[in-house]
Structure 1
Amino acid sequence: MSAKTAKELLAVARAELGVKESPAGSNKVKYNTWYYGREVSGESYPWCVVFAWWCCAQVGLSLPVKTASCTALMNAAKKAGMWVTTGYLPGDIVIYDWGGDKIPDHCGIIAQVTGTGYLCIEGNTAVGNDSNGGQVMERTRAAKTILGAVRPVYAAELPESVQWAVDSGIMQGNTSGDLMLDSPVTRKQFVTMLHRYHVKFGG
Protein backbone atom coordinates (compact mmCIF):
# COMPACT_ATOMS: atom_id res chain seq x y z
CA MET A 1 0.00 0.00 0.00
CA SER A 2 1.40 3.41 -0.94
CA ALA A 3 2.19 6.06 1.64
CA LYS A 4 -0.72 8.24 2.66
CA THR A 5 -1.06 11.91 3.53
CA ALA A 6 -1.71 13.59 6.85
CA LYS A 7 -5.00 14.81 5.38
CA GLU A 8 -6.16 11.23 4.88
CA LEU A 9 -5.22 10.26 8.44
CA LEU A 10 -7.08 13.24 9.85
CA ALA A 11 -10.18 12.42 7.80
CA VAL A 12 -10.25 8.99 9.44
CA ALA A 13 -9.70 10.44 12.92
CA ARG A 14 -12.41 13.09 12.50
CA ALA A 15 -14.92 10.46 11.46
CA GLU A 16 -14.45 8.84 14.89
CA LEU A 17 -15.30 11.96 16.92
CA GLY A 18 -17.96 11.15 19.48
CA VAL A 19 -17.13 7.45 19.88
CA LYS A 20 -17.22 6.43 23.56
CA GLU A 21 -16.22 3.36 25.50
CA SER A 22 -19.15 1.41 26.91
CA PRO A 23 -19.81 1.17 29.76
CA ALA A 24 -18.15 4.37 30.91
CA GLY A 25 -14.89 3.83 32.74
CA SER A 26 -14.39 0.34 31.30
CA ASN A 27 -11.89 0.95 28.47
CA LYS A 28 -14.18 -1.35 26.47
CA VAL A 29 -14.13 0.20 23.00
CA LYS A 30 -13.81 -0.96 19.41
CA TYR A 31 -10.19 0.23 19.08
CA ASN A 32 -9.08 -2.03 21.92
CA THR A 33 -11.06 -4.94 20.47
CA TRP A 34 -9.23 -4.42 17.15
CA TYR A 35 -5.82 -4.03 18.79
CA TYR A 36 -6.01 -7.02 21.15
CA GLY A 37 -8.11 -9.24 18.90
CA ARG A 38 -10.77 -9.66 21.57
CA GLU A 39 -12.96 -7.58 23.84
CA VAL A 40 -11.05 -6.28 26.85
CA SER A 41 -11.95 -4.06 29.77
CA GLY A 42 -10.41 -2.69 32.93
CA GLU A 43 -7.75 -0.21 33.97
CA SER A 44 -4.98 -2.20 32.26
CA TYR A 45 -6.28 -1.17 28.82
CA PRO A 46 -6.01 2.61 28.32
CA TRP A 47 -6.47 3.37 24.63
CA CYS A 48 -5.15 6.78 23.56
CA VAL A 49 -2.19 5.22 21.70
CA VAL A 50 -4.38 2.37 20.46
CA PHE A 51 -6.70 4.95 18.89
CA ALA A 52 -3.78 6.55 17.05
CA TRP A 53 -2.63 3.09 15.92
CA TRP A 54 -6.12 2.25 14.65
CA CYS A 55 -6.36 5.49 12.65
CA CYS A 56 -2.94 4.90 11.09
CA ALA A 57 -3.84 1.34 10.19
CA GLN A 58 -6.96 2.46 8.32
CA VAL A 59 -4.83 4.38 5.82
CA GLY A 60 -1.82 2.07 5.71
CA LEU A 61 0.56 4.14 7.83
CA SER A 62 3.12 2.46 10.06
CA LEU A 63 4.28 3.56 13.49
CA PRO A 64 7.73 2.53 14.74
CA VAL A 65 6.40 -0.06 17.20
CA LYS A 66 3.08 -1.73 17.93
CA THR A 67 2.30 -0.69 21.47
CA ALA A 68 -0.41 0.77 23.66
CA SER A 69 2.21 2.65 25.71
CA CYS A 70 3.03 6.34 25.22
CA THR A 71 6.54 5.76 26.62
CA ALA A 72 7.27 2.81 24.35
CA LEU A 73 5.98 4.72 21.32
CA MET A 74 8.14 7.73 22.16
CA ASN A 75 11.28 5.64 22.68
CA ALA A 76 10.75 3.70 19.46
CA ALA A 77 10.16 6.91 17.51
CA LYS A 78 13.43 8.34 18.81
CA LYS A 79 15.33 5.24 17.66
CA ALA A 80 13.61 5.29 14.26
CA GLY A 81 14.33 8.96 13.60
CA MET A 82 10.61 9.76 13.67
CA TRP A 83 10.66 11.93 16.81
CA VAL A 84 10.32 15.73 16.58
CA THR A 85 10.27 18.32 19.36
CA THR A 86 9.65 21.53 17.39
CA GLY A 87 7.71 22.69 14.35
CA TYR A 88 4.74 20.42 14.94
CA LEU A 89 2.45 19.83 11.96
CA PRO A 90 -1.04 18.43 11.33
CA GLY A 91 -0.76 14.65 11.32
CA ASP A 92 1.94 14.54 14.01
CA ILE A 93 1.11 12.16 16.86
CA VAL A 94 1.92 14.19 19.93
CA ILE A 95 2.88 12.87 23.34
CA TYR A 96 1.77 15.00 26.27
CA ASP A 97 3.43 15.62 29.62
CA TRP A 98 0.90 17.15 31.98
CA GLY A 99 3.14 17.61 35.01
CA GLY A 100 6.40 18.77 33.46
CA ASP A 101 8.21 15.67 34.76
CA LYS A 102 9.23 14.46 31.25
CA ILE A 103 7.09 11.34 31.71
CA PRO A 104 4.57 10.69 28.88
CA ASP A 105 0.95 10.89 30.01
CA HIS A 106 -1.27 10.85 26.92
CA CYS A 107 -1.26 11.19 23.13
CA GLY A 108 -3.27 12.73 20.33
CA ILE A 109 -3.12 13.63 16.64
CA ILE A 110 -2.59 17.27 15.68
CA ALA A 111 -5.44 18.42 13.44
CA GLN A 112 -4.65 22.12 13.29
CA VAL A 113 -1.93 24.52 14.36
CA THR A 114 -3.53 27.61 15.91
CA GLY A 115 -2.12 30.92 17.01
CA THR A 116 -2.02 29.85 20.63
CA GLY A 117 -1.53 26.09 20.50
CA TYR A 118 -2.86 22.99 18.78
CA LEU A 119 -6.25 21.51 18.02
CA CYS A 120 -5.88 17.74 18.43
CA ILE A 121 -8.03 14.66 17.96
CA GLU A 122 -7.59 12.28 20.88
CA GLY A 123 -8.88 8.94 22.00
CA ASN A 124 -9.74 8.18 25.63
CA THR A 125 -10.12 11.77 26.79
CA ALA A 126 -12.76 14.07 28.23
CA VAL A 127 -13.03 17.49 29.78
CA GLY A 128 -12.07 16.84 33.38
CA ASN A 129 -10.18 13.64 32.62
CA ASP A 130 -7.56 14.37 29.97
CA SER A 131 -5.86 10.98 29.91
CA ASN A 132 -8.62 8.47 30.59
CA GLY A 133 -11.93 10.09 29.75
CA GLY A 134 -13.32 7.38 27.51
CA GLN A 135 -14.21 9.44 24.43
CA VAL A 136 -12.81 10.51 21.06
CA MET A 137 -12.76 14.29 21.13
CA GLU A 138 -11.15 17.40 19.71
CA ARG A 139 -9.08 19.09 22.39
CA THR A 140 -7.15 22.35 22.36
CA ARG A 141 -3.67 21.94 23.83
CA ALA A 142 -0.95 24.41 24.76
CA ALA A 143 2.54 23.91 23.35
CA LYS A 144 3.98 23.63 26.87
CA THR A 145 2.08 20.36 27.44
CA ILE A 146 3.75 18.61 24.49
CA LEU A 147 6.80 16.46 25.18
CA GLY A 148 7.36 15.71 21.49
CA ALA A 149 5.70 14.01 18.56
CA VAL A 150 5.93 10.98 16.32
CA ARG A 151 5.92 12.03 12.67
CA PRO A 152 4.78 9.16 10.41
CA VAL A 153 6.29 8.92 6.93
CA TYR A 154 3.68 10.64 4.82
CA ALA A 155 3.45 11.00 1.08
CA ALA A 156 3.87 14.58 -0.10
CA GLU A 157 0.54 16.22 -0.84
CA LEU A 158 0.16 17.09 -4.50
CA PRO A 159 -0.46 20.65 -5.74
CA GLU A 160 -4.16 21.27 -6.35
CA SER A 161 -3.73 21.40 -10.14
CA VAL A 162 -1.85 18.11 -10.23
CA GLN A 163 -4.38 16.45 -7.93
CA TRP A 164 -7.18 17.62 -10.28
CA ALA A 165 -5.38 16.09 -13.27
CA VAL A 166 -4.89 12.80 -11.42
CA ASP A 167 -8.47 12.68 -10.14
CA SER A 168 -9.77 13.44 -13.64
CA GLY A 169 -7.71 10.64 -15.17
CA ILE A 170 -5.79 13.06 -17.38
CA MET A 171 -2.47 12.40 -15.69
CA GLN A 172 -1.41 8.88 -14.75
CA GLY A 173 1.82 7.61 -13.32
CA ASN A 174 4.10 4.89 -14.58
CA THR A 175 3.65 1.24 -13.62
CA SER A 176 5.07 2.05 -10.16
CA GLY A 177 2.62 4.88 -9.62
CA ASP A 178 5.29 7.57 -9.99
CA LEU A 179 3.79 10.70 -11.59
CA MET A 180 7.28 11.81 -12.74
CA LEU A 181 6.39 15.44 -12.01
CA ASP A 182 9.95 16.69 -12.51
CA SER A 183 10.61 14.75 -15.71
CA PRO A 184 10.38 16.24 -19.23
CA VAL A 185 7.13 15.54 -21.10
CA THR A 186 7.43 13.85 -24.49
CA ARG A 187 5.13 14.77 -27.37
CA LYS A 188 3.51 11.37 -27.04
CA GLN A 189 2.75 11.94 -23.36
CA PHE A 190 1.46 15.46 -24.08
CA VAL A 191 -0.87 14.29 -26.84
CA THR A 192 -2.06 11.42 -24.64
CA MET A 193 -3.02 13.84 -21.88
CA LEU A 194 -4.78 16.11 -24.39
CA HIS A 195 -6.75 13.15 -25.68
CA ARG A 196 -7.77 12.12 -22.17
CA TYR A 197 -8.93 15.69 -21.52
CA HIS A 198 -11.00 15.66 -24.73
CA VAL A 199 -12.59 12.32 -23.86
CA LYS A 200 -13.34 13.46 -20.31
CA PHE A 201 -14.59 16.97 -20.96
CA GLY A 202 -15.21 17.23 -24.73
CA GLY A 203 -14.56 20.37 -26.70
Structure 2
Amino acid sequence: MTAEKVLSIARGELGNTESPAGSNRTKYGKWFGLDWNPWCMMFVMWCFSQAGALGLLPKRTASCGDLMRAAKAAGCWVTEDYRPGDVVIYDFPGGAATDHTGIIESVTASGVVAIEGNTSQAGSQSNGGQVCRKSRKYNVIVGAVRPKFEEDDDLNIDKLTDTELVRLAERMQAALAKQPVSATLAPEFQEAQDRGVTDGTRPAAFVTRAQAAVMALRAAKE
Protein backbone atom coordinates (compact mmCIF):
# COMPACT_ATOMS: atom_id res chain seq x y z
CA MET A 1 0.00 0.00 0.00
CA THR A 2 1.33 3.42 -0.95
CA ALA A 3 0.59 6.96 0.17
CA GLU A 4 -0.14 7.87 -3.44
CA LYS A 5 -3.06 5.43 -3.59
CA VAL A 6 -4.67 7.04 -0.53
CA LEU A 7 -4.04 10.51 -1.94
CA SER A 8 -5.47 9.55 -5.31
CA ILE A 9 -8.73 8.59 -3.63
CA ALA A 10 -8.74 11.79 -1.57
CA ARG A 11 -8.18 13.93 -4.68
CA GLY A 12 -11.18 12.30 -6.29
CA GLU A 13 -13.35 13.70 -3.48
CA LEU A 14 -12.28 17.34 -3.90
CA GLY A 15 -15.29 19.62 -4.13
CA ASN A 16 -17.71 17.22 -2.45
CA THR A 17 -20.04 18.94 0.01
CA GLU A 18 -22.40 17.94 2.77
CA SER A 19 -26.10 17.92 1.92
CA PRO A 20 -28.05 19.85 2.95
CA ALA A 21 -25.57 22.65 3.62
CA GLY A 22 -24.71 23.07 7.28
CA SER A 23 -26.03 19.63 8.20
CA ASN A 24 -22.79 17.63 8.52
CA ARG A 25 -24.58 14.96 6.48
CA THR A 26 -22.16 13.12 4.15
CA LYS A 27 -21.43 9.72 2.70
CA TYR A 28 -18.34 9.63 4.95
CA GLY A 29 -20.43 9.96 8.11
CA LYS A 30 -22.95 7.44 6.82
CA TRP A 31 -20.13 4.96 6.10
CA PHE A 32 -18.63 5.50 9.54
CA GLY A 33 -21.98 5.23 11.33
CA LEU A 34 -22.02 8.80 12.66
CA ASP A 35 -23.88 10.72 9.99
CA TRP A 36 -24.94 14.30 10.82
CA ASN A 37 -21.74 14.78 12.87
CA PRO A 38 -18.53 16.76 12.14
CA TRP A 39 -16.72 14.65 9.60
CA CYS A 40 -13.12 15.76 8.94
CA MET A 41 -11.67 12.64 10.58
CA MET A 42 -14.36 10.39 9.12
CA PHE A 43 -13.30 11.64 5.67
CA VAL A 44 -9.71 10.59 6.42
CA MET A 45 -10.86 7.19 7.66
CA TRP A 46 -13.04 6.73 4.55
CA CYS A 47 -10.13 7.51 2.18
CA PHE A 48 -7.83 5.03 3.92
CA SER A 49 -10.60 2.41 3.92
CA GLN A 50 -11.30 2.86 0.20
CA ALA A 51 -7.57 2.37 -0.45
CA GLY A 52 -7.52 -0.80 1.64
CA ALA A 53 -5.20 0.96 4.09
CA LEU A 54 -7.37 1.51 7.16
CA GLY A 55 -5.24 -1.02 9.03
CA LEU A 56 -2.25 1.31 8.64
CA LEU A 57 -3.82 3.75 11.10
CA PRO A 58 -3.58 3.00 14.83
CA LYS A 59 -7.33 3.28 15.42
CA ARG A 60 -10.68 3.67 13.68
CA THR A 61 -12.06 6.84 15.19
CA ALA A 62 -13.92 10.05 14.36
CA SER A 63 -11.92 12.08 16.89
CA CYS A 64 -8.71 13.98 16.14
CA GLY A 65 -7.57 13.81 19.76
CA ASP A 66 -8.37 10.11 19.97
CA LEU A 67 -6.28 9.32 16.89
CA MET A 68 -3.41 11.44 18.19
CA ARG A 69 -3.35 9.58 21.51
CA ALA A 70 -3.54 6.21 19.75
CA ALA A 71 -0.69 7.21 17.44
CA LYS A 72 1.49 8.27 20.36
CA ALA A 73 0.83 4.95 22.10
CA ALA A 74 1.63 3.05 18.89
CA GLY A 75 4.84 4.99 18.22
CA CYS A 76 3.64 6.47 14.92
CA TRP A 77 3.21 10.10 15.99
CA VAL A 78 5.58 12.66 14.42
CA THR A 79 6.04 16.39 14.93
CA GLU A 80 8.53 17.18 12.15
CA ASP A 81 9.75 15.99 8.74
CA TYR A 82 6.19 15.50 7.53
CA ARG A 83 5.52 13.33 4.47
CA PRO A 84 2.78 12.86 1.87
CA GLY A 85 0.23 10.46 3.30
CA ASP A 86 0.68 11.56 6.91
CA VAL A 87 -2.57 12.31 8.72
CA VAL A 88 -1.99 15.82 10.05
CA ILE A 89 -3.72 17.21 13.14
CA TYR A 90 -4.31 20.96 13.52
CA ASP A 91 -4.98 23.34 16.36
CA PHE A 92 -6.59 26.51 15.06
CA PRO A 93 -6.75 29.64 17.27
CA GLY A 94 -9.83 29.66 19.46
CA GLY A 95 -10.77 26.05 18.79
CA ALA A 96 -10.17 22.78 20.59
CA ALA A 97 -6.62 21.55 21.21
CA THR A 98 -7.01 19.14 18.29
CA ASP A 99 -9.84 20.44 16.14
CA HIS A 100 -9.17 19.45 12.53
CA THR A 101 -7.34 16.98 10.30
CA GLY A 102 -6.38 16.15 6.72
CA ILE A 103 -4.07 14.01 4.59
CA ILE A 104 -0.79 15.67 3.68
CA GLU A 105 -0.31 15.88 -0.07
CA SER A 106 2.97 17.81 -0.12
CA VAL A 107 5.36 19.69 2.15
CA THR A 108 6.43 23.30 1.56
CA ALA A 109 9.03 25.56 3.15
CA SER A 110 6.38 27.15 5.38
CA GLY A 111 4.00 24.26 6.04
CA VAL A 112 2.00 21.57 4.27
CA VAL A 113 -0.61 21.17 1.56
CA ALA A 114 -3.32 18.73 2.62
CA ILE A 115 -6.61 17.35 1.38
CA GLU A 116 -9.21 17.89 4.09
CA GLY A 117 -12.85 17.12 4.66
CA ASN A 118 -15.33 19.48 6.35
CA THR A 119 -13.39 22.67 5.60
CA SER A 120 -13.85 25.54 3.16
CA GLN A 121 -11.91 27.98 1.02
CA ALA A 122 -13.23 31.10 2.74
CA GLY A 123 -15.45 30.17 5.70
CA SER A 124 -15.02 27.87 8.67
CA GLN A 125 -11.79 25.91 8.48
CA SER A 126 -12.82 23.14 10.86
CA ASN A 127 -16.52 22.79 9.99
CA GLY A 128 -16.86 24.21 6.49
CA GLY A 129 -18.82 21.45 4.80
CA GLN A 130 -16.56 20.73 1.83
CA VAL A 131 -13.57 18.64 0.74
CA CYS A 132 -10.79 21.09 -0.15
CA ARG A 133 -7.07 21.26 -0.80
CA LYS A 134 -5.61 23.56 1.85
CA SER A 135 -2.21 25.14 2.48
CA ARG A 136 -1.45 25.33 6.20
CA LYS A 137 1.40 26.93 8.13
CA TYR A 138 3.52 24.96 10.57
CA ASN A 139 2.27 27.05 13.49
CA VAL A 140 -1.19 25.43 13.36
CA ILE A 141 0.13 21.86 13.15
CA VAL A 142 0.11 19.80 16.35
CA GLY A 143 1.69 16.78 14.67
CA ALA A 144 0.81 13.90 12.37
CA VAL A 145 0.11 10.19 12.31
CA ARG A 146 2.71 8.35 10.20
CA PRO A 147 1.16 5.30 8.47
CA LYS A 148 3.59 2.52 7.57
CA PHE A 149 3.32 2.66 3.79
CA GLU A 150 5.22 0.22 1.57
CA GLU A 151 7.52 2.88 0.15
CA ASP A 152 8.84 3.55 3.67
CA ASP A 153 10.72 0.23 3.39
CA ASP A 154 11.41 -0.01 -0.33
CA LEU A 155 11.64 3.30 -2.16
CA ASN A 156 11.89 2.63 -5.90
CA ILE A 157 13.12 5.85 -7.48
CA ASP A 158 12.48 4.52 -11.00
CA LYS A 159 8.74 4.28 -10.28
CA LEU A 160 8.33 7.80 -8.93
CA THR A 161 6.56 10.40 -11.03
CA ASP A 162 8.18 13.78 -11.67
CA THR A 163 5.89 15.32 -9.06
CA GLU A 164 6.85 12.67 -6.50
CA LEU A 165 10.55 13.17 -7.27
CA VAL A 166 10.19 16.91 -6.65
CA ARG A 167 8.48 16.18 -3.33
CA LEU A 168 11.30 13.79 -2.41
CA ALA A 169 13.88 16.45 -3.26
CA GLU A 170 12.00 18.98 -1.12
CA ARG A 171 12.09 16.57 1.82
CA MET A 172 15.82 15.97 1.27
CA GLN A 173 16.42 19.71 1.18
CA ALA A 174 14.49 20.19 4.41
CA ALA A 175 16.50 17.44 6.12
CA LEU A 176 19.86 18.69 4.82
CA ALA A 177 19.04 22.25 5.85
CA LYS A 178 19.08 21.13 9.48
CA GLN A 179 22.61 19.71 9.26
CA PRO A 180 25.49 21.86 10.57
CA VAL A 181 28.46 22.85 8.43
CA SER A 182 31.38 20.41 8.66
CA ALA A 183 34.33 21.18 10.93
CA THR A 184 36.62 21.33 7.88
CA LEU A 185 34.62 24.10 6.24
CA ALA A 186 33.59 25.92 9.41
CA PRO A 187 36.39 28.56 9.47
CA GLU A 188 35.91 29.64 5.85
CA PHE A 189 32.15 29.43 6.19
CA GLN A 190 32.37 31.82 9.13
CA GLU A 191 34.52 34.17 7.04
CA ALA A 192 31.89 34.03 4.27
CA GLN A 193 29.26 35.06 6.80
CA ASP A 194 31.43 37.88 8.09
CA ARG A 195 31.85 39.19 4.54
CA GLY A 196 28.15 39.01 3.80
CA VAL A 197 28.47 36.23 1.21
CA THR A 198 25.89 34.11 3.07
CA ASP A 199 23.51 34.59 5.96
CA GLY A 200 24.68 31.28 7.43
CA THR A 201 21.36 29.45 7.17
CA ARG A 202 20.87 26.02 5.56
CA PRO A 203 24.63 25.39 5.11
CA ALA A 204 24.25 21.78 3.93
CA ALA A 205 21.34 22.33 1.51
CA PHE A 206 21.71 21.69 -2.22
CA VAL A 207 22.71 24.47 -4.60
CA THR A 208 20.95 24.44 -7.98
CA ARG A 209 22.78 25.09 -11.25
CA ALA A 210 20.99 28.43 -11.52
CA GLN A 211 22.11 29.44 -8.03
CA ALA A 212 25.69 28.36 -8.77
CA ALA A 213 25.71 30.34 -12.02
CA VAL A 214 24.48 33.48 -10.27
CA MET A 215 27.10 33.09 -7.54
CA ALA A 216 29.85 32.70 -10.14
CA LEU A 217 28.60 35.76 -12.04
CA ARG A 218 28.52 37.89 -8.90
CA ALA A 219 32.03 36.78 -7.97
CA ALA A 220 33.30 37.66 -11.45
CA LYS A 221 31.86 41.18 -11.13
CA GLU A 222 33.73 41.90 -7.89
Q: TM-score, normalised by structure 2?
A: 0.66
CA deviation map 1:92-117 (0-9, x unaligned):
11000112888101001111112222
Asked if 2 retains the 8 angstrom alpha-carbon contact of 1:102 and 1:147, the reply is: no
Is 1:8 paired with 2:5?
yes
Unpaired stretches in structure 2, ≥5 consecutive residues: 162-222
- SS at structure 1 position matched to 2:32: helix
Alignment-derived partner of residue 71 in structure 2: 77
Alignment-derived partner of residue 115 in structure 1: 109
Alignment-derived partner of residue 167 in structure 1: none
Query: What pairs up with 1:1-203 in 2 under 5 angstroms?
Result: 4-36=1-33, 40-41=35-36, 45-61=37-53, 62=55, 63-99=57-93, 103-126=97-120, 127-156=122-151, 157-160=155-158
- Aligned positions, number: 155
Task: Evaluate the alpha carbon distance shift between residue 69 and residue 161 of structure 1 in structure 2; reply closer, same or farther with a 3 A threshold.
Answer: closer
Which amino acid counterpart does residue 150 of structure 1 have in structure 2? V
Alpha-carbon shift at residue 155 of structure 1 (Å): 0.4
Asked if 2 retains the 8 angstrom alpha-carbon contact of 1:84 and 1:150, the reply is: yes
Give the whole-Å Cα distance in 2 for the aligned partners of 1:83 and 1:29. 28
Asked if 2 retains the 8 angstrom alpha-carbon contact of 1:83 and 1:148, the reply is: yes
Task: Evaluate the alpha carbon distance shift between residue 109 and residue 86 of structure 1 in structure 2; reply closer, same or farther with a 3 A threshold.
Answer: same
Alignment-derived partner of residue 171 in structure 1: none
Alpha-carbon shift at residue 118 of structure 1 (Å): 1.1
Which amino acid counterpart does residue 50 of structure 1 have in structure 2? M
What is the alpha-carbon root mean square deviation over aligned residues? Answer: 2.0
Task: Evaluate the alpha carbon distance shift between residue 102 and residue 129 of structure 1 in structure 2; reply closer, same or farther with a 3 A threshold.
Answer: closer
- SS at structure 1 position matched to 2:47: helix
- SS at structure 2 position matched to 1:115: coil
Which amino acid counterpart does residue 58 of structure 1 have in structure 2? Q
Give the whole-Å Cα distance in 1 for the aligned partners of 2:123 and 2:149. 33
Give the whole-Å Cα distance in 1 for the aligned partners of 2:61 and 2:106. 25
- Compare the two structures and name the one with the higher helix fraction: 2
Task: Evaluate the alpha carbon distance shift between residue 161 and residue 16 of structure 1 in structure 2; reply closer, same or farther with a 3 A threshold.
Answer: closer
Which amino acid counterpart does residue 48 of structure 1 have in structure 2? C
- SS at structure 2 position matched to 1:124: strand
Unpaired stretches in structure 1, ≥5 consecutive residues: 164-203
Q: Please list every run of at least 4 consecutive aligned residues from structure 1 whose deviation after the TM superposition is greater than 6 angstroms.
A: none
- Identity among equivalent positions (%) equals 50
Greater Cα offset, 129-138 or 57-66: 57-66
